[in-house]
Amino acid sequence: SGKVFMQKSQQGGGSPMIRGFATNRLLYTVDGIRMNTAIFRGGNLQNVISLDPLAIENTEIFFGAGSVIYGSDAIGGVMSFKTLTPQLSLDGKPNVTGKVNSRFSSANNEFTGHFDVGVGWNKFAMLSSVSYSRYGDLKMGTYGPDEYLRPFYVQRQDSADVVVTNDDPRIQKPSGYNQINLMQKFRYAPNDKWDIQYGFHWSETSSFARYDRQIRYENGLPRYGEWSYGPQKWMMNALSITHTGNNAMYDQMSLRLAHQFFEESRISRNFNEEQRETNIENVYAYSGNLDFVKSIGSKNKLYYGLEVIWNDVVSLGTNENVSTGVTFENASRYPQSNWSSYGLYVSDQYRVHKKVTLQAGLRYNHFLLNADFDTTFYAFPFTKAQLNNGSLTGSFGLVYRPTKTWVLSANFGTAFRAPNVDDIGKVFDSEPGSVVIPNPNLNAEYAYNVDVSIAKVFADVVKLDLTGYYTILTNALVRRDFTLNGQDSIMFTGELSQVQAMQNAAVANVYGLQAGLEVKLPAGFGLSSDFNWQVGVEELADGSTSPSRHAAPWFGVSRLSYRYKNLNMQFNVQYSGAVKNENLPEEEKGKDHIYAVDENGNPWSPSWYTLNLKASYQFLQRFTASAGIENISDQRYRPYSSGIVAPGRNFILSLRASF
């Protein structure tokens, strides 16, 4: 889209960055249900891949502080996904709709198949959807840094790890995986006032290698014999009840109840060692949202509601001898724990007159956490941790429309992120030579955000919009050096590691610009562009400052489109700026295995661009054929902070049939 920067540690992943924030400082919702859980971490996430892009009806991105409506984590923005909705019949006859999709891409030998069908009657409708994708090892481009090549990889042969020469160093072995998505929905609308919907979602991947760990070397040999994520699973049962009625309390009421199940696991083994460590995390998430909308007169619209969230975290650790098959218990990644949140909010939109609209909102959130620590494997100086705290956030905004072609707006908002189980209780290796241990003494972090926007339409031909923003994050939860029983270093996974812990110990500042341009050209042509520039600065332990890890370099996309009858074509250029070594965040400088090397031998992230062409043609009314070439010039590039190199020249073919 040109509005969100994507980081990828492996092909099976994708961690969005918005306005200098990412991971657990962004909020993700599916059909209005919160997807963030108690183990959403500050490190890069790949939960977004659980969603089926072929079952998404639309996606909205809300930039900036959104905690008044959405609660914890909505600091940088909110990504809201709405899946396909069962459609009722409008003429009294059964209405059957659906589509079949297939897709092939050459850079990873991808094959994707999708089928969905919906049947609707007057008051009842249902929809079924299934998708399956198979991705092979990803092939990088020809022209770019040699440091990105993959000359060797590890194979297990005759009870030993062997370094094998890669026949094609551009193929990133291992990086392939498979995924299946299922969705079933039912809808019942007895009259024009009630709408009841139930949705079941299931997503599961195969195991997939964490590629950035596969390419780490130590003393001239691979650091790991294996490092992969186990199958990533997500299930959601969601019930929504909407009532439309003009009464004293509301014009519309929406109740959403949901149960979600998440499973993720990590499997690692040092090179030529027999002990394979496995950590499995299960999260059972329950949520309830009750939202009301009420118009007061002709100028005032009131939004208010409440939210209840409960997460149970079950974490297991095992150690298996790969030669003998003997398995025994090992330290878990998280304590056995639960996290809950209770929120109340009110927001009012007031139209002063036809040119000016004001908005103001307030939310109070209370959050609780209980964790039980097992001291069998680590001698923690505590066995329990509890958190009982609250946060108050607010927002104020103004929209001014002096004419039909001008829109000016300004917003101020606060946002918060409550400490979760990942912050308080995790034991993990954050980077080579460091281990993060639990710290039960944490508070919420707060963000203060202001943004100013201007949009102008010229003669119904050109639309230009520009937004400037500034965010201050205080009480930020960051990793800092720590001690465990008086020791600043401990042995962890066979390596002497600096002890660290999450602490409320920093302030961060992020500011930037977002710009968009749309131009209608004659004869079916169109031009559009999106551009993002952001700068982030965060405080370090010694009082100095460093660029923020999640403030991506400038990036954007420019498009030239053409439409004629059933033919659609688009040529676009995607691009991103460089990050020189002196501008790399301090925590990124230690990850030299994922970066290119500058003339001084230091890691850096070069700028890049890709040229891309795609076209689609609809024929026989129900069939659409699409083809495209991505990265036409076959550039070899790795987006900033990513562990895997982006695809090289990629040919894409797809066919869709609708009924």
Q: Which residue has the higher pLDDT, 497 or 84?
A: 84
Q: Reply yes or no on whether the pLDDT at 416 is more than 80.
A: yes
Handedness of CA 142, 143, 147, 148 (dihedral sign): negative
Is 281:334 a contact under the CB 8 Å cutoff?
A: yes
Tokens of 283: 């999260």
The 3-class secondary structure across 523-543, one letter per residue, is HHEEEEEEEEEEEEEEECCCC
User: Residue range 560-583: average pLDDT?
Assistant: 98
Phi, psi of 586 (to 5 degrees): -55, -40
Cα 118 to chain center, whole Å?
29
Is 76:59 a contact under the CB 8 Å cutoff?
A: no
For residue 275, give the nearest of 206, 218, 322, 207 by alpha carbon.
322
pLDDT tens, position by position, 144-187:
999 999 999 999 999 999 999 999 999 999 999 999 999 999 99
Q: Which residue has the higher pLDDT, 432 or 442?
A: 442
Share of the chain above pLDDT 70, in %: 99
- What's residue 319's pLDDT? 97
User: Residue range 469-485: average pLDDT?
Assistant: 92
**If you ran DSSP here, which 8-state letter would residue 580 be given?**
-
Query: CB 358: neighbour CB atoms within 10 A?
Result: 14
- What's residue 430's pLDDT? 59
pLDDT tens, position by position, 20-66:
999 999 999 999 999 999 999 988 898 999 999 999 999 999 999 99
Is 209:182 a contact under the CB 8 Å cutoff?
A: no
- What's residue 501's pLDDT? 87
Q: Reply yes or no on whether the pLDDT at 428 is more than 80.
A: no
- What's residue 92's pLDDT? 85
pLDDT tens, position by position, 61-105:
999 999 999 999 999 999 999 999 999 999 989 999 999 999 999
**If you ran DSSP here, which 8-state letter would residue 592 be given?**
G
Query: What type of residue is 618?
Result: Q
- What's residue 375's pLDDT? 87
Q: Give the H or E element holding residue 461.
A: none
pLDDT tens, position by position, 594-640:
999 999 999 999 999 999 999 999 999 999 999 999 999 999 999 99
Query: What type of residue is 573?
Result: V
User: Residue range 210-234: average pLDDT?
Assistant: 96
Query: CB 219: neighbour CB atoms within 10 A?
Result: 6
pLDDT tens, position by position, 262-308:
999 999 999 999 999 999 999 999 999 999 999 999 999 999 999 99
Q: Is the peptide bond before 174 cis (omega within 30 degrees of 0)?
A: yes
pLDDT tens, position by position, 312-325:
999 999 999 999 99
Alpha-carbon distance values, 381 to 53, 438, 440 (Å):
46, 10, 11
Query: What type of residue is 91?
Result: D
Tokens of 21: 């924030």
Q: Reply yes or no on whether the pLDDT at 432 is more than 90.
A: no
For residue 236, give the nearest of 165, 276, 182 by alpha carbon.
182
User: Residue range 395-424: average pLDDT?
Assistant: 96
* pLDDT grade for 246, boundaries at 50, 70 and 90: confident
Residue with tokens 């707060």: 446
List the chain domain ranges.
Answer: 5-658
Q: Reply yes or no on whether the pLDDT at 486 is more than 90.
A: no
Is 277:267 a contact under the CB 8 Å cutoff?
A: yes
Q: Reply yes or no on whether the pLDDT at 434 is more than 70.
A: yes
Q: What is the CATH number of domain 5-658?
A: 2.40.170.20
* pLDDT grade for 372, boundaries at 50, 70 and 90: very high
* pLDDT grade for 1, boundaries at 50, 70 and 90: confident
E strand intervals along 232-383: 233-244, 252-270, 275-296, 300-321, 327-329, 336-353, 356-372
For residue 229, give the nearest of 166, 164, 156, 176 by alpha carbon.
176
User: Residue range 565-591: average pLDDT?
Assistant: 97
- What's residue 495's pLDDT? 79
Instruction: Name the pTM for this structure.
Output: 0.94
Is 106:171 a contact under the CB 8 Å cutoff?
A: no
Lowest mean pLDDT among 116-130, 366-380, 391-405: 366-380
- What's residue 642's pLDDT? 97
User: Residue range 252-269: average pLDDT?
Assistant: 98
**Mean per-residue pLDDT of the chain:** 96
Phi-psi region of 32 (alpha: psi -120 to 50; beta: other; left: phi over 0): left
